[in-house]
Amino acid sequence: MPYQCLERCGKLLVAARDSNIDLFNLENDNAFLSTWSCNSSQQPQNGKIELKKDGSKVATNESQLSSVEVQLEEALTPPAKRRKLSVDAGKPETEEATTEPIQELGATENGVKKQKKQKQNNRSNAISTGLEAPAIIALAVTKDEQHVIAITGEDKCIRVFEIIEKDGILCLNLLSERIMPKRPSSMAITPDSKTIFSADKFGDVYSLPLIPSLTTSTETPEQNQASRSSSAAAERTFQPSANEFTIHSQRNRIALENQKKQTNTPAKDTTPTFEHTLLLGHVSLLTDIKLASLNGRNYIITADRDEHIRVSRGIPQAHIIEGFCLGHKEFVTRMCIPESRPEILVSGGGDNRLLVWNWEAGKCLSEVDLGATLRLAMGGDGVRESKMSVSGIYHIRQAGGDMILVACEALPVLFLFNLNPQNTLTISNISHFPGNILSLNVLPTQPKAQGSRVVISIDNIHKPSSTTETHPPGTPKAFPLVIYDFENGPSQEVVKTDQVVNVEVPDAGNLKKLLYSLENLRKKGGEGKADGAEVEDS
């Protein structure tokens, strides 16, 4: 199983594979230390219960909640989300058992309609858990190297870990799990290691404290439950937003009549209970977020699927947009601000180009065509003509100056560019690897070595340049993590990290979804053609 995200936390390498996080000791021959697994840990508590409660409430919403139902719901509180878990089958089965009475209750009370609702819920649950346990889609390490933060996609959860020593072995200790309103796609941590900025697929950016404050986080599910049922008992009267003046068609009039008959609504409260602040939002899918600082001012830079890079002021003026960096012709996927050149932003996406920006002025300084670069280097053959999407942009500082490393989705090559003082990128080298590059992280320079080292995660399951073809069984697998040395220019790998365990690989579809999801951001041409025919019928 290859690693989809890599981060470095001091001397530790933090690597995520599927729903597990492995720790390696970089100072001790890259030895394996420990694994944190999402399966074995407690499932997240607050958000998902609500989802389920909503489900059951919806199922019984016609009448007021009877006391029996409330009791049943309370009994339901401890087990969390119903999730497909094949490994430890004991827990989910008991869970299933506790939920069944409610289903039956619903069925006997109001027949087919409710069963349908329940079914839909199950289905959406099943969809939301494409993998058996939620896979980790992003990792981050605080600047003080005390905490590791992980995002899981399917359950929209942000988990914060601390690094502790248990029985003489360093391992991750889960501190908090927070379920976000929408699925996060990227995050950034403030330099003071106190705040997480989470950018989600709905286009919103939230800030949340790294360590949830005690007053809000101590609210137990039970208390939460109690307050919820009491509010439900208070029976908020439902007020239709429309009135007889605002509607013009017969059908709408009937709908309004029906709405008026409905006296109360299920109090739907899906806002998280922990402290979180909405900072800004795009009407698009966010792909990356970076925090920048220039001349003593803080900025938030966000990239989205609709080709935008937005530069907003930092907290507390995040509502003010300073500018946009507009120039990409396809979705933007990654941005990189070189530490040594904070006024520069390098961005890449689905249009085969890298753009170098003066991000404060929103001015494009230079661009590089990745496709042309690759074709030139390989003599034009063996290169896919299809689109590329940039999956990672990294900065390293070499003796010779600043370098920008670029990886593309489903390509077994790493581009090495020199970032010149004139703000242009010139290709220095294209390195080939035995598998597609999934992630990369810069390692600290060793005192005796001059060059920087990076650790690279390689897809050892799929054939190079492919997201579908896998190596035939029996072929020796490449090491998933290789360390790459830049001393005297690029050289061969020097150290190979120990292979942890040969865990079974999730089925091909899920693995592809996890490792190669960027290409899905591409807009499908021609889809909108049907739109023109969307003509009113009257």
Cα dihedral 511, 348, 444, 338 in deg (nearest 10): -160
Nearer to other proteins, 313 or 397 (CB): 313
**Phi, psi of 131, rounded to the nearest 5 degrees:** -95, 165
d(CA 349, CA 309): 11
Which stretches of the chain bind other proteins, using CB under 8 A?
202-204, 240-243, 245-246, 248, 268, 278, 280-284, 297, 306-308, 310, 312-313, 317, 319-321, 323-324, 326-329, 364, 523-529, 531-538
- The minimum distance between CB 168 and other proteins, in angstroms, equals 48
Nearer to other proteins, 181 or 221 (CB): 181
- The minimum distance between CB 164 and other proteins, in angstroms, equals 38
Nearer to other proteins, 174 or 364 (CB): 364
Nearer to other proteins, 71 or 271 (CB): 271
Following DSSP, what letter does each residue of 1-33 receive, concatenated? ---SEEEEETTEEEEEETTEEEEEETTTTTEEE
Could you identify the residue written with the tokens 């995050």? 187
Q: Taking a C-beta distance cutoff of 8 angstroms, is the pair 35, 15 a contact?
A: no
- The minimum distance between CB 150 and other proteins, in angstroms, equals 26
d(CA 82, CA 129): 10
Q: Taking a C-beta distance cutoff of 8 angstroms, is the pair 350, 402 a contact?
A: no
Nearer to other proteins, 307 or 402 (CB): 307
Looking at residue 496, the DSSP 8-state letter turns out to be B
- The minimum distance between CB 363 and other proteins, in angstroms, equals 10
Q: Taking a C-beta distance cutoff of 8 angstroms, is the pair 439, 5 a contact?
A: yes
Nearer to other proteins, 20 or 186 (CB): 186
HSE, CB side, 13 Å, CA atoms: give it for residue 514: 32
- Which residue(s) pair with 5 in the sheet? 16
For the beta carbon of residue 143, count every other beta carbon within 10 angstroms.
Answer: 11
Q: Taking a C-beta distance cutoff of 8 angstroms, is the pair 146, 162 a contact?
A: yes
- The minimum distance between CB 68 and other proteins, in angstroms, equals 29
- The minimum distance between CB 82 and other proteins, in angstroms, equals 22
Token pair of 256, please?
């309004």
Nearer to other proteins, 35 or 424 (CB): 424
- The minimum distance between CB 534 and other proteins, in angstroms, equals 6
Question: What's the angle, vertex CA 372, arms to CA 371 and CA 374, rounded to 5?
Answer: 65
Q: Taking a C-beta distance cutoff of 8 angstroms, is the pair 286, 201 a contact?
A: yes
Nearer to other proteins, 286 or 346 (CB): 286
- The minimum distance between CB 120 and other proteins, in angstroms, equals 15
